[in-house]
Amino acid sequence: MIHLSEAPIPVVAPGSADGAFALLWLVIALPLAGAAVLLLLGRRADAWGHLLGTATAVGSFVVSLVLFVSLLGRDEGERQVAQHLWQWISVGRLDVGLDLLYDPLSALFLLLITGVGSLIHVYSIGYMSHDPRRRRFFAYLNLFVAAMLVLVLAENYLVLFLGWEGVGLASYLLIGFWQHKHSAAAAAKKAFVINRVGDIGLSLGIALMFVTFGSTSFTVISALASGASQATLTTLGVLLLLGACGKSAQVPLQAWLLDAMEGPTPVSALIHAATMVTAGVYLVCRSNFVFERAPDAQTVVVVVATVTLLWGAAIGCAKDDIKKALAGSTMSQIGYMMLGAGLGVAGYAFAIFHLITHGFFKANMFLGAGSVMHGTDDDVDMRHYGALRGAMPVTFLTFAMGYLAIIGFPGFSGFWSKDKIIETALADSWVVGLCALLGAGVTGFYMTRLMLMTFLGEQRWRPGVHPHESPRVMTGPLVALAALSVLGGVLLAGDWIVDWLAPVVGTAPEEHPPIPALAVTAIAVLVVAAGVALAWRLVGQRPIPDVAPTQVSALTRAARADLYGDAINEALVIGPGRRLVRGVVVADDRAVDGVLTGGPGLVGGIGLLLRRVQNGYVRSYAASVLGGSVVVLVALLVVNLA
């Protein structure tokens, strides 16, 4: 297995003559500068702010593309370049530079973030055209992209954490962008708080790295990891996983994801396809040198991923809100990616492969959902849709490409990426593999249900609603993403992506799986077909009521309630936490404050008594002297007589 530390990494200074790699810093600087300009100029940039925001994102994509082509031209052992920007922290043994690392893994992420991000920016020009705060929206989009780029370009965990927190801030600002809606403000706060729980895990993990290895650099930790104890590596792996669960909405930190749909639809596309939820998968794959030496931590990753992929799929089956149905789907698909990452060196490349293809078809479908909302007066209830294929043909056809990709229709991108994860899972564990197969079947069901309720069947439009196709500035990105949804599987041609990522995540030894790959593919297609057929039987051949029926199974009720994720959090975390805080407040008021205020109160009382003695009258003082003298004389007599 080859890890980062086994190949020397040339350091390139900004502006040096080392070809295109001297421009690495510019990938981050462009969207970051766009955000700064749009926020600092304020309303003076309202007229053209959306154009600047889009231009900086496209410019970052162009630079990323140039860097990728330059990296392709290098030999495999030379495809890692570090760029030192400046010294960030130098305190005692802690020496951290603001350094960037460009290698095959970060190269793919740069193309995904800036490419899909640019298409979302273009789409947003039309989607947010009537919003009075459009310029601010584009500033936040730029900030989001810049923070994610810092995260995936970081050369050490501390710089990664800087981007990690930047992503958290940008998501908070964008989810709650329409803060005049109480639900949006509450959703932003919920996402922010839950992610802080995961961030505690990541920050503790970084602290443990420094204590154990004396560094936070990927290359240093990769070189020294073999010398750490099994307990330390397992603890470190679990802490990193906790951070990943927060960002990637994995059980038990998944409850924020569906509420995050309160933000504008382009935000949902950016979060689910190119930025926030992919961060956790990146963290686990980037930290392969930890997890490969901590099998117990890998097992925890596999368990969490398996539970999550089924959890999200179940939620997707019961949602009538088109965006929340897609959000449940994202939770499930990220579960597949985490499963691939948890399977170790055999699955890292396929996890990243599915992450990229998912970025294509999920951005396509979220933006398609936004197009549907745009044509139906912002209605998100699929029970109010039906027969939209005729009114919105471009949206329908592009969405259909994403649908076929996500269910794994043969030849489409999801078919190649998800099936490889299922194949790897079956080779590792029958139980996990069968759960992954079940998830594929459920995906076929809920996505077919969504297609039937939205684009097919009889129209169920609300009075006064006249569905219409979106403008070209919105449908153009849909066409591009639909094409990528179809063609994304070419990344696997000749095992290209496996070989490309080998210098970072290693290569698995040749093995003979218990089930031939072709058989696994056939079984997966049959399972998906069964899910599609079941959806057609239960949804396509029955009238869709205007209101969701109340007489449903316990599982359906649970899925509608997000499998009681909020109730579980309330019972296990929020409720006990609230009671603990209340008890601390009472103890503080009665004990701590009592001690602190009791002493001054006693002194004050004594002072009041003494003040009565000091009344300013000479006769009182004379009487006091006389009384004191008498007491002294009496005391002397008693002592002498004794």
Cβ-Cβ contacts under 8 Å for 165 (sequence gap 6 or more): 147, 199
User: Is the predicted pLDDT of residue 184 greater than 90, yes or no?
Assistant: yes
Measured on CA atoms in the order 69, 75, 76, 79, is the torsion positive or negative? Answer: negative
Residue-wise pLDDT tens digits, 105-162? 999 999 999 999 999 999 999 999 999 999 999 999 999 999 999 999 999 999 999 9
Residue-wise pLDDT tens digits, 274-333? 999 999 999 999 999 999 999 999 999 999 999 999 999 999 999 999 999 999 999 999
Residue-wise pLDDT tens digits, 197-212? 999 999 999 999 999 9
Cα 427 to Cα 408: distance, rounded to the nearest angstrom? 20
Residue-wise pLDDT tens digits, 347-380? 999 999 999 999 999 999 999 999 999 999 999 9
Measured on CA atoms in the order 387, 390, 396, 400, is the torsion positive or negative? Answer: positive
Element (H, E) at 450: helix 430-455
Cα 275 to Cα 264: distance, rounded to the nearest angstrom? 15
Residues in the chain: 642
Cβ 394 vs Cβ 375: under 8 Å: no
Q: What is the DSSP string of 38-100?
A: HHHHGGGGTTTHHHHHHHHHHHHHHHHHHHHHHHHTS-GGG--EEEEEEEEEEETTEEEEEEE
15 vs 339, higher pLDDT: 339
Mean pLDDT computed over 408-425 = 96
Cβ 154 vs Cβ 219: under 8 Å: no
Cα 337 to Cα 302: distance, rounded to the nearest angstrom? 10
b or e along 62-78 (b: 16 or more beta carbons within 10 Å of the residue's beta carbon)?
ebbbbbbebbeeeeeee
Cα 441 to Cα 532: distance, rounded to the nearest angstrom? 8
Cα 88 to Cα 147: distance, rounded to the nearest angstrom? 17
Say which DSSP state 217 is in: B
- At 266 the pLDDT is 97
Percent of the chain with pLDDT over 90: 80
Cα 162 to Cα 141: distance, rounded to the nearest angstrom? 17
Q: What is the CA radius of gyration of the chain?
A: 31
Mean pLDDT computed over 176-203 = 96
User: Is the predicted pLDDT of residue 15 greater than 70, yes or no?
Assistant: no
b or e along 252-282 (b: 16 or more beta carbons within 10 Å of the residue's beta carbon)?
bbbbbbbbbbbbbbbbbbbbbbbbbbbbbbb
User: Is the predicted pLDDT of residue 181 greater than 60, yes or no?
Assistant: yes
Tokens matching residue 355: 């992450």
